[in-house]
A and B are shown apart, each in its own frame.
Chain A
Amino acid sequence: MIKTALVAASSLVLATTALPALAQTELTMWYHGAGNEVESAIISQIIDDFNASQSDWTVSIESFPQESYNDSVVAAALAGNLPDIVDVDGPVMPNWAWAGYLQPLPIDQSKFDNFLPGTKGIWDGQLYSIGLWDAAVALYARQSTLDELGLRTPTLDSPWTGEEFMAALDAAKASGNYEYALDLGMAWTGEWYPYAFSPFLQSFGGDIVDRSTYKTAEGVLNGDAAIAFGEWWQNLFTGGYVPGTSQDPADRETGFIEGDYAFSWNGNWSGVATIEAGVDDLVFLPAPDFGSGNVIGAASWQFAVSTASEHPDGAAAFIEFATQDAYLTAFSDALGLAPSTASAAAATKNYSSGGPMEVFFGLSNDQGLVRPVTPGYVVAAKVFEKALADIANGADVADTLDAAVDEINADIEKNSGYGH
């Protein structure tokens, strides 16, 4: 008797919950932010708002930890189980597009004209992904440090030159007040290395691969400019300016805040936390110019539509909905990242005019340079990371860069040029 009642009740529940779903087509979405409650709350809010705003589609989300997200997508693609909507890290996007995991966004590109350049994932002339925010890197310093050491405050229009930058490090070192003059974040292995450090190489005039053809790294990663960069890089470590590859991750988090490091090369996502930790005269200085302009890395996580999706129009509708200014502002306020549009920035706590991190918006807009837009980037980034770690540990500069070039070139060749 009880059993029948239960069955009846559950089928009733099933029927009532299933009914609206019949009218709406279900779309699945994968996201990299599992474990970050703030991020999850916003993305869930966007999805709830979208599902309530129309009656054609209903999006459901599955979140993965960032460390294993890319592996999960690759595994799903190999097994043929990709969701409709994926998020993808900007520099990885060409690899997935080339491998056939992503389809071009079925949205008119002109909709995103006012977006920061780094938030648009363009491969082979087509827009594949769009980001709600961009990340930017700056040289963290205290105004009091600058005053104490008698240093000029660099600006976007007149950044420090390479010599000025080294003079600043020398002054910090000579003051004896700091354990190290500069913290580069060597503890953050992985994508941080190419993201944060390849702009130095580009500012010297080199690059990870030759962007005119994307077929070789010869001459750009081991040319004179690159060797000059490598020697400068090695000198940072042999000269005792910077903690090395065995830096404790905890020191990376707190070293600048506690005053052990005079300068810190860090991302905008750490800005809010640093100010809240009590560094009230924090200033964000633009990257130094080593001769070929001052650049920082651009492109962060972005939304894209997978080739497995049977409803790209629905996926596109969701992405268009999510890229409203209100949500860009919400993400920026919660995570400290730079919103993709100037109009959204004006509404944020940190990036509005006079806000503590306003400068980053300018950095992203003026200095931002995307990492090499090629499917081979995934491999080149790993090779570059290892080369930088080896040079920091005292390996011969020219030989290490040669080896990196050979490995990148062998990989490009093995992939028949990656479609370039």
Chain B
Amino acid sequence: MAARSTLTQSNMAGWGFALPAFALLAVFIILPFFFAFAFSLTDQRLISPNPTRYVGFENYERLLGMNILRIEPARDDAGQIVRDANGDPTYPRVRTFTRNNPDLPHLQGMREWFGWRSGDDRVVVLARDVLFMKSLVNTLTFVIAIVPLQGGGALLLALLINQRLRGINAFRAIYFMPVVISIVVVSLLWRFIYDGNDGVLNNILHGLTLGAFQPIDWLGRTDTALASIIVMSAWQAVGFHMVIWLAGLQTISPTYYEVATIEGANKWQTFRYITWPGLRNTAVLVFIVITIQAFALFAQIDVMTNGGPLDSTQTLVFQAIERGYGKQDISGGSTIAVILFFVVLAISLVQRYLTRERT
């Protein structure tokens, strides 16, 4: 009852304080979301003299349309399978099925996303928008890799700096520094670090291995580009989450640690049975925040790779902006934004469910 009366008494003041934040959220987050949802059902362009038309779920179909095609191997006149030098069967090109093929009109314009061999046949998964599918996979890969890397790294740093040592503030400042620097500046600097010829990273590896290491074009190779961006992004924001962990660490009462020492617990036991349970709520916050931020991956891509090489670093937000502004297709960009919203919402709900208070 007491809580309720305080709330009623300070209701006006409370709303007054919250109002600016609510107004900003409404104008810059909630309203644009409804706009995005509305635009995703139309053919809205950024600039166009043509009137906007309602197109239903066409934009969603264009993005999400998929199909499976089973391709039989090419056969010669005698009906024998044509095999290449390795003895593998050869197949007609996918484009013979998906381009101007009157028998398969529903596959028109689709492209191969990935495929595998099944017996002598080849099974190909076709997507109407392969670029979107790749962006989705890259974004999810980024999220799955960065959550443990950034969250764990931040916790480690927080444990290290949560000590009373001379000059510990200098370390805190150093670890926090990348957070204060603009992500655009950080990305530009890391481009030099990752440079394929004489980048800092290549030079260090070259020196450490006494010249045995061959320089790698980190951002120019499909197998290293995304990983390079993951490492750099984890480094950039690790300081921010370190501070949150540190705040959590300092809420744990020192008496628990004293008890642990008296009971003769070792360092690992202290962490496992005192520190970690004490950080429960902090952990939920840190992991949800990292997940949501990770889905918004854009600036690093825009500055460092532009989605390349070969779409290995395309992400959903990069594609949304590229389509909405670069290609003047507001409806296409909005559709990606709406899909991204539901993906993030679903994942956040699952995370909340998994980390709920169990009584």
A interface residues, Cβ below 8 angstroms from B: 71, 74, 77-78, 95-96, 98-101, 189, 244-246, 248, 251, 378-379, 382-383, 386, 389-390, 393-395, 398-399, 402-403, 406, 410-411, 414-416, 419
Contacts and interface: CB of A to CB of B under 8 A. Distances in A.
A264 B325 CA distance: 32
Contacts of A96: 47
Contact of B50 (A189, A390, A394, A415): A415
A402 B99 contact: yes
Nearest to B130: A403
Interface stretch (B148-156, B170-178, B284-292, B302-310): B302-310
B327 A246 contact: no
B311 interface: yes
Contact of A415 (B45, B93, B307): B45
Contact of B47 (A77, A383, A399): A77
A78 B47 contact: yes
B308 A393 contact: yes
A398 B99 CA distance: 12
Contacts of A398: 93, 95
Contacts of B50: 415-416
Contacts of B109: 406, 410
Q: Chain B's interface: helix, strand, loop or mixed, by majority? A: loop
B308 A389 contact: yes
A98 B47 CA distance: 9
B220 A244 contact: yes
B21 to A, nearest CB: 26
Contacts of A393: 222, 308-310
B49 interface: yes
Nearest to A391: B310
Contact of B95 (A399, A410, A419): A399
A386 B325 CA distance: 16
* Most chain A CB inside 10 Å of its own CB: which residue of B45, B306, B309: B309
A71 B222 CA distance: 31
Contact of B220 (A99, A245, A383, A406): A245
A414 B50 CA distance: 10
B187 to A, nearest CB: 14
Contacts, number: 75
B121 interface: no
A95 B47 contact: yes
B112 interface: yes
A378 B45 CA distance: 13
Given A189-B306, A389-B309, 16 more contacts: A74-B46, A99-B47, A99-B49, A100-B49, A244-B220, A248-B196, A251-B197, A382-B322, A393-B309, A395-B310, A399-B94, A399-B95, A406-B111, A411-B327, A411-B329, A414-B43
A410 B130 CA distance: 15
A416 B328 CA distance: 14
A321 B325 CA distance: 35
B297 interface: no
Contacts of B327: 378-379, 382-383, 411
Nearest to B99: A402
A192 to B, nearest CB: 13
B196 A382 contact: no
Interface in B71-93: 93
28 contacts: A74-B46, A74-B47, A100-B49, A101-B47, A245-B309, A248-B195, A248-B196, A379-B328, A382-B327, A383-B327, A389-B309, A390-B310, A393-B222, A393-B310, A398-B93, A398-B95, A399-B94, A399-B112, A402-B99, A403-B111, A410-B62, A410-B109, A411-B327, A411-B329, A414-B45, A414-B329, A415-B45, A416-B50
Sorted nearest first, the 9 A-B pairs with minimum C-beta distance are A246-B220, A393-B309, A99-B47, A379-B327, A406-B109, A393-B310, A246-B217, A100-B49, A382-B326
Contacts of B219: 246
